[in-house]
A = this chain, B = another copy of it.
Amino acid sequence: MTILVSEVGPRDGLQSVKSIMPIEAKKAWVSAEAAAGVREIEVGSFVPAKLLPQLADTAELVKYARTIPGLTVAVLVPNLKGAEAAVEAGVHKITIPLSVSETHSLRNVRRTHAQMLDEVKGIVALLRSLPKDRRPKFEGGLSTAFGCTLEGLIPADKVVALAESLMTAGCDEIGLSDTTGYANPSQIRELVRRVLSTVGNHALAGLHLHNTRGLGLTNVLAGIEVGITTFDSSLGGLGGCPFAPGASGNIVTEDLVFMLEAMGLTTGINLTKLIEVRGILREALPSEELYGFTPDAGLPLGFKQGPV
């Protein structure tokens, strides 16, 4: 079985880091991960530079990343204006986050669910006006889907209803994000099954999981068991959501790839090369902590990975 590991470090990692990574380091990072075999990278967000100066060069990075053969170049956008900039830059994939916790949505982007769905419809109209071969894939990313630091438990019914609304509004697919690191394996299995049975097997893009309470990889395992084949992660575990208090820690790409390859699943990623990419982060962000158990411990003696 093949699993798509989607690197989100250049977006989700860098947005929560105070230092601004120079564009040349970002290019080196994206290019080194692609060379290690990573096939999808979320390179940035199209948000006002004054909100996230760390990602102000997203358009330039998109243009560079598009020149790398075989790489899917993804970005996050908060609204129609961001989507216009993303299309202009030539991205392959756009994700708009919609927080299932309306309290979190208001706190994060100052928008209700209804207002967010209007943005989604505006983006769908924009994308449908493009020729098919220039039309990016459009994902609705349901954040706080497994719990919210402001609202607490999030009823599965709400997640399922919003997934349906996003598909009705014209999204190509849905993603589920454990923004707050609240998810557990049983909940993953249950919610994924419910969303799949509502939107269909091909409309669930994948899972975006955090390791806040140490369950990130257990949740990946549970996701694989119920048919998920795409997982977001961040090199060195850089990042998290700066607007969800207490939330931190994307799952670490290196540990994720180690687990998948050790289990005999295929990622197409060369683990040794992947671990070397950390050097670029260490050099460009010397004051940031990098996480990951596998890079510290090294690969097991005799470890062999699948084809890369």
Could you tell me the distance in whole angstroms from the C-beta of A174 to the nearest C-beta in chain B?
A: 23
With a CB–CB cut-off of 8 A, which chain B residues contact A263?
184-187
Chain A 238-258: CB-based contact to B (< 8 A → 1; otherwise 0): 000000001011001001001
Is A214's CB under 8 angstroms from B293's CB? yes
Could you tell me the distance in whole angstroms from the C-beta of A266 to the nearest C-beta in chain B?
A: 13
Q: A147 within 8 Å of B by Cβ? A: yes
Measured in the bound complex, the distance between the Cα atoms of B218 and A258 in whole Å is 12
Secondary structure call for the A interface: loop
Could you tell me the distance in whole angstroms from the C-beta of A18 to the nearest C-beta in chain B?
A: 20
Is A246's CB under 8 angstroms from B298's CB? yes
With a CB–CB cut-off of 8 A, which chain B residues contact A220?
218
Is A293's CB under 8 angstroms from B211's CB? yes
Of the four ranges (under 10, 10 to 19, 20 to 34, 35 or more), the interface on chain A belongs to: 35 or more
Knowing A147-B301, A221-B222, A301-B152, the reply to whether A214 touches B294 (Cβ < 8 A) is yes
Measured in the bound complex, the distance between the Cα atoms of B298 and A213 in whole Å is 8
Chain A 266-305: CB-based contact to B (< 8 A → 1; otherwise 0): 0000000000000000000000000011100110111000
Which of B152, B262, B302 has a CB less than 8 Å from the CB of A184? B262
Q: A212 within 8 Å of B by Cβ? A: yes
Is B184's CB under 8 angstroms from A297's CB? no
Chain A 149-181: CB-based contact to B (< 8 A → 1; otherwise 0): 111110000000000000000000000000011
Q: A120 within 8 Å of B by Cβ? A: no
With a CB–CB cut-off of 8 A, which chain B residues contact A218?
217-218, 220-221, 259
Most buried by B among A149, A185, A249: A185
Q: What are 6 inter-chain pairs, A to B, with CB distance below 8 A?
A: A147-B301, A147-B302, A149-B300, A212-B297, A214-B294, A217-B218
Additional A-B contacts beyond A148-B301, A214-B293 (19; CB < 8 A): A149-B301, A150-B301, A151-B301, A152-B300, A152-B301, A152-B302, A212-B293, A213-B255, A213-B294, A213-B300, A214-B217, A215-B217, A215-B255, A215-B258, A217-B217, A218-B220, A221-B221, A221-B222, A249-B293
